[in-house]
């Protein structure tokens, strides 16, 4: 899976979970009002389910932007 496809899949999931259809590919968590703690947990479960992975506590601490999550996903998919 290329990084661009991974980004597209990530954005689709995030837009659905956060209910933000125009979420920017470079959005920061602090700038998205809908990205609260509850939605963050829903996002974690959705991503783990969609990509067949589990995030560590350290990785979850870096869930601060679309780009940060993409870096984690890319690293995990390349390690698999």
Q: Which of 69, 73, 34 is nearest to 51 (CA)?
A: 73
Q: What is the mean pLDDT of the chain?
A: 95
Return the pLDDT at 38: 97
d(CA 35, CA 57): 18
Q: What is the pLDDT of residue 46?
A: 98
Residues 6+ positions from 73 with CB-CB distance below 8 Å:
6, 10, 47, 51, 53
CATH architecture assignment, domain 3-79? Orthogonal Bundle (1.10)
Question: pLDDT tens across 12-48, in order?
Answer: 999 999 999 999 999 999 999 999 999 999 999 999 9
């Amino acid at each position: 899976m290329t990084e661009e496809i991974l980004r597209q899949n990530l954005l689709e999931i995030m837009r659905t979970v956060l209910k933000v259809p125009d979420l920017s590919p470079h959005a920061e968590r602090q700038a998205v009002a809908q990205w609260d703690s509850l939605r963050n947990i829903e996002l974690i479960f959705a991503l783990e389910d969609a990509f067949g992975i589990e995030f560590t506590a350290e990785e979850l601490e870096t869930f601060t932007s679309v780009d940060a999550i993409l870096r984690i996903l890319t690293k995990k998919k390349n390690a698999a």
